[in-house]
A and B are shown apart, each in its own frame.
Chain A
Amino acid sequence: MKRQVLGISGECQLPSRSYQQPDSSGYPVRLDTASKFSFCSDTQFTGIISNQQHTELVQALLDETSLTVQVTCNFGDENLERPKIRRYLPCMRLCSLRLIIYGPAYLCDDVGSFFQDYDIYLQDPRGCEMDVRYCNPHRLSSIDLASCPMTSKLELQEVTLGAFNLEEAPRQLDLLAVLDSQEDLREAPQPDAIHTTLER
C-alpha cells in the first residue's frame, strides 16, 4: 500500500476551447470563500473544495484573521485526452490545494491542536512566499523558536531538518500486534550452574 501526502482535494473548472492546459506545477490561487477559489493570475480558472470537512477547516482558517494562508493549486500529471468535440467545453479537473499557514508564533500551539483535531499534521512547506521562521507545532525541533530555520533555507536544509519522508515510511497496521503472538517460546537450555537434571 502506498501512501501519498496530498493537500486539500478540490475540483478545478478549466475554461473552454484550446486554452492551455495547466501542468503539474503549482499555481497560486486565492480563497474567495471557504469552498471556492480562483487563480490569482487568471480569473477564468476557478475551483471548489469538494470535501465538506475540508471546507469547514478552511472556513476556520479564514475566520482567524491573524493567520495568513498561502494557497497553491496542483494538478496531477495525467494528460487529459479529450474528444475533439469536448475541447470546446469547460471541464472539471481534480486538483490538490496546498495550504501554507503563517501567523504569530504565540498561536503555534493552538494551530497545532486545531489541525490535530482534524487528523491533519503539518508538513514541511515548499515554495513559501514569505521568508519567515518555520515553526511547525508538530515538529519537536520547533520548541526553541530561536533555532527554527527560515523558510528560505528550508529546501537547502532539508537534510539538517531531518525530513521524514512519510511516503516512504513502511505502513504497519498495528505495531503492537507483534507482541500479541500466540507462538510458544522455545524452551531454554538448562543453565550450567544447575547440575541437577531438571524435569521437563
Chain B
Amino acid sequence: MENHFIPEGAKRRRLQETRGATVDAAATYYPSTTPIPRSGGESVCSNDSGGVFASQLNLYPSPALTQPETNPRSQRNQPSQGTQGLDGRKRDMIIQYPTSSSLLAPNCGFSSMMAGATWNRVSIAQEYSTPQCIDCNIGDQTGQADLDQHSAWTNYGQPNHHFLVPPVYVEAEPNYSAFVHSYGANPIMQSSESIRSNALNTEVPFQTQIVVTTQANQTIGFESNISCANSGTNGLTQVSSGADRDEFVCFGMVGTFKFS
C-alpha cells in the first residue's frame, strides 16, 4: 500500500500548531521524560521541548483512505497540511519499527484478539490519550489469543484525524485476513484495510500499513480475523495440515511423448 506523508516543512508547522493549540485536558501532550519502550533499530524523534515521539507519522493525515477534497466534512475538520507527498525518510522509519515477526494466533473465527508481546511500541500522537503506546502484533508466543489492553486507543483531541498504524507483520498464511476497524460512539468514518492473504512463498513475512481515520473521542481497535490453525508448535504459524516447504514430496514422474 502506498503511504502518503507530508513534507518535513509542513510537519514542523504542524507540530508547532499542535503545541500552541488548546486541547482537551485529556488530550494532553506528553512532555515525556519516561522513555518509551522500544527495541533496537527504532527511530525516535525528539523535539526541542523534550517531547518524545516514537512516531510522528500518526500526526498527519493521509489521503489513502479518505478523500478530503471530495468530502466537505473532512475538509472542514482537517488542519491545513500543505501538500501530501511521499516522504522516503519517513517510510524508512516505518520499516524500522518491527523487529520480530508477529505470530499468528492459533485461534479461528472472528474473535477480536490482540496480543502484545513481540511488537515494538509506537507512541500515539499527543492528542491521543492513553494508551500512549499500542502494540500491533497479532497473536502471541504461547499460541493463545489474548485480548490486549493496548489494542484500542482513543482520540480525544483532533477531530477527524488520521494516523498511521505501524507496519503489521504477519506470517504468510493462506486464507488469512486481518483488518483494523474503528468502533465507539457514533463513528462517523470507519476505515479498514485488508491485509493481504495468500501471501505464500514470496513474502514471508510481509508487512503492511494501515491508515485509520478517527473522530474526536472515538476509540479505535484492532481486530483480526484469522481463519488458519496452529497445529501445535508454539510461536510458529503452520498451515492446517502441517505441511511446510521443507517437507519431502513427490514431484511426479518424468514423461516423454511418442507419436505414432
Q: Are A104 and B252 in contact (CB under 8 A)?
A: no
Q: Are A105 and B260 in contact (CB under 8 A)?
A: no
Alpha-carbon distance A121/B245, docked complex (angstroms): 22
Q: Are B241 and A146 in contact (CB under 8 A)?
A: yes
Alpha-carbon distance A101/B255, docked complex (angstroms): 11
B255 and chain A: residue at smallest CB distance: A123
* Cβ–Cβ < 8 Å partners of A108 in chain B: 249, 251
Q: Are B254 and A104 in contact (CB under 8 A)?
A: no
Kindly supply a per-residue 1/0 record for chain B positions 247-258, scoring 1 wherever the CB is within 8 Å of any chain A CB and 0 otherwise.
Answer: 111111111111
B253 and chain A: residue at smallest CB distance: A125
* Cβ–Cβ < 8 Å partners of A101 in chain B: 250-254
* Cβ–Cβ < 8 Å partners of B251 in chain A: 101-103, 107-108, 111-112, 122, 135-137
Q: Are A124 and B259 in contact (CB under 8 A)?
A: no
B interface list, Cβ under 8 A from A? 174, 200, 239-260
A interface majority secondary structure = mixed
Interface size of A in residues (CB-CB distance below 8 Å): 52
Could you list some 30 contacts between A and B, CB below 8 A?
A: A2-B259, A3-B258, A3-B260, A4-B257, A5-B255, A5-B257, A6-B255, A7-B254, A57-B254, A100-B250, A101-B251, A101-B254, A103-B251, A104-B245, A104-B249, A106-B245, A111-B251, A120-B254, A120-B255, A120-B256, A122-B254, A123-B255, A125-B250, A125-B253, A126-B253, A132-B247, A132-B250, A135-B249, A137-B252, A145-B249
Q: How far is the CB of B249 from chain A (nearest CB, A)?
A: 4
Q: Are A146 and B255 in contact (CB under 8 A)?
A: no
Kindly supply a per-residue 1/0 record for chain A positions 118-156, scoring 1 wherever the CB is within 8 Å of any chain B CB and 0 otherwise.
Answer: 001111111010101111111100011111100100000
Alpha-carbon distance A169/B47, docked complex (angstroms): 73
Contacting residues of chain A (1-41) with chain B, CB-CB under 8 angstroms: 1-9
Q: How far is the CB of A34 from chain B (nearest CB, A)?
A: 14
Q: Are A133 and B253 in contact (CB under 8 A)?
A: no
B256 and chain A: residue at smallest CB distance: A6
* Cβ–Cβ < 8 Å partners of B240 in chain A: 146
Q: How far is the CB of B185 from chain A (nearest CB, A)?
A: 43
Among all A-B residue pairs, the 6 with the closest Cβ atoms: A122-B252, A123-B255, A146-B241, A125-B253, A99-B254, A136-B252
B201 and chain A: residue at smallest CB distance: A109
Q: Are B241 and A6 in contact (CB under 8 A)?
A: no
Q: Does A88 reach chain B (CB closer than 8 Å)? A: no
Most buried by A among B239, B246, B249, B259: B249
**Interface contacts beyond A54-B256, A122-B253: sample of 4 additional A-B pairs, CB < 8 Å, sorted by A:** A8-B254, A105-B245, A133-B247, A146-B239
A125 and chain B: residue at smallest CB distance: B253
Q: Are B255 and A121 in contact (CB under 8 A)?
A: yes
Alpha-carbon distance A24/B256, docked complex (angstroms): 18
* Cβ–Cβ < 8 Å partners of A151 in chain B: 250
Most buried by A among B240, B250, B258: B250
Choice from A125, A143, A171 contacting B252 with Cβ under 8 Å:
A125
Q: Are A7 and B255 in contact (CB under 8 A)?
A: yes
* Cβ–Cβ < 8 Å partners of A136 in chain B: 251-252
Most buried by A among B248, B254, B257, B259: B254
Q: Are A100 and B253 in contact (CB under 8 A)?
A: yes
Alpha-carbon distance A145/B249, docked complex (angstroms): 9
Alpha-carbon distance A192/B201, docked complex (angstroms): 58
Q: Are B253 and A98 in contact (CB under 8 A)?
A: yes
* A7 and B256 contact, Cβ closer than 8 Å, known pairs A146-B239, A146-B243: yes
Q: Are B255 and A3 in contact (CB under 8 A)?
A: no
Alpha-carbon distance A107/B250, docked complex (angstroms): 11
Alpha-carbon distance A171/B245, docked complex (angstroms): 37
* Cβ–Cβ < 8 Å partners of A105 in chain B: 243-249
* Cβ–Cβ < 8 Å partners of A148 in chain B: 243, 249
* Cβ–Cβ < 8 Å partners of B250 in chain A: 100-102, 125, 128, 130, 132-135, 151
* Cβ–Cβ < 8 Å partners of A1 in chain B: 259-260
